[in-house]
Amino acid sequence: MHSFFYSRQFLYLCLNNQLYDFGSDSIACMKHITTFELKEKMGRNESFQLVDTREAEIFKESHIEGAINIPQIDLPELSHLVSKEMPVIIYCMYGVKSQAPYLYLTEKLKHRNIYVLEGGIYQWVTDIDPTLPLD
């Protein structure tokens, strides 16, 4: 975790020009999943939703198979697309920017089954699928 997240009493996140306050304890309680755990879930055909929070243009160039694209900036308007019935795994490029969508979904919208992919798509390419292009 980067030290700037702990530099103030509260973490301020901006999604679509809205300011939200989340206590710094919320970050410590985030649920994560590794690339290897995700690969196992895929291999067992488990039900889950995979959400890529990067920009649409980047998503079109490269994404993990089965993912849907909900850019972080559009999450407030598109949050209805995020499943409440099954686990949701969110990812970005490196896993850091997924913290804002995670906190928005869990703290503001009260989703309970949200996970962040550790290391994002970069780690997925490193560990699982080196043929996937990253720009």
- The pLDDT tens digits of the residues spanning 107-126 come to 889 999 999 999 999 999 99
Give the per-residue pLDDT at 10: 36
Domain assignment present for residue 21? The answer is no
Which amino acid, one-letter code, is at 41?
K
Domain assignment present for residue 50? The answer is yes
CATH number of the domain where residue 103 is located: 3.40.250.10
Domain assignment present for residue 25? The answer is no
Give the H/E segment covering residue 20: strand 18-23
* Domain, as residue range, for 117: 30-127
Total count of domains within the chain? 1
Give the per-residue pLDDT at 15: 53
The reply to whether the predicted model has a pTM over 0.85 is: no
94: CB partners within 8 A, 6+ apart: 119, 120, 122, 123
Which bin fits 88, alpha (ψ -120 to 50), beta or left (φ > 0)?
beta
Domain assignment present for residue 73? The answer is yes
* pLDDT < 70 positions in the chain: 1-28
Domain assignment present for residue 83? The answer is yes
Give the per-residue pLDDT at 29: 74
Give the per-residue pLDDT at 131: 95
Domain assignment present for residue 122? The answer is yes
Domain assignment present for residue 18? The answer is no
Domain assignment present for residue 132? The answer is no
